[in-house]
Structure 1
Amino acid sequence: MLRMPVFSLLRRCCAMMLLGSLSLVLSVAHADPRTFPTGTKRGVLTASAYPDIVIDGKVQVTRPSTRIFNELGLLVLPATLPNATLKINYLANEYGEIERIWILTVQEANVDISKQLKQN
């Protein structure tokens, strides 16, 4: 029986992991468009020192439970937000506190927000 050299085996394992991760990325890229809860608004997020969130030039109040989602729907820590302006959808509660923020892809930002809201 022929034995594979260790490097050949490692190369095959790495190739399999790369193909697996690539298929995962492609499946996320072709996923259904995201929908957002009723009451969601569109805005532009400007980088600032957390816990301050600046949306459309106004400082907004956040909560300790405020969740920020990136373009893939993954949670983002506020300290890791890029130092840039981002098009977002956001949801505030009845007290005006920001509860959720979704960073939009270019395609999502070009779609009217009324077409992105969940239909009840």
Structure 2
Amino acid sequence: MFQCKISISIISSYCYVSLLPTIFDLFNLQLEFKTLTIALNGSRDQKLLWNQISDKFGLAENLSITSVDNLGFKPVFASWPHNVDIPCSAWFTLEYLLACTCTKIKLGKSYFGNRDLDEILRKWKTG
């Protein structure tokens, strides 16, 4: 059988209701994803979804998280994809960044300052 990576966008509440069983089935089959796009606005459904799939992010080559500045919850990354893109990353903390095992991470609109970058470089130099 031909194996290929698929891309999924979990953007609207329609996705949660109609596609969630299929998405869970794909994760349970340990299929690899080219791109997984998740839109977070802090809703209860999205918190539940995040908690149920965050341990599967390692199956994704690319994870894109579109979000609002204040999610109302602190997402826990149980695993990391190869690449992460967060266009509005004000909620993404230094702790997240230091724990990140991604090859590439792109953060837009972050609040990181010079002290944060100094700490990141210091940790990077020490391995």
| TM-score, normalising length: structure 2 | 0.21
Considering only CA atoms, is the larger Rg found in Structure 1 or Structure 2? 1
Higher relative helix content: 2
Higher relative strand content: 1
Higher RCO structure, 1 or 2 (CA under 8 Å, sep 6+): 1
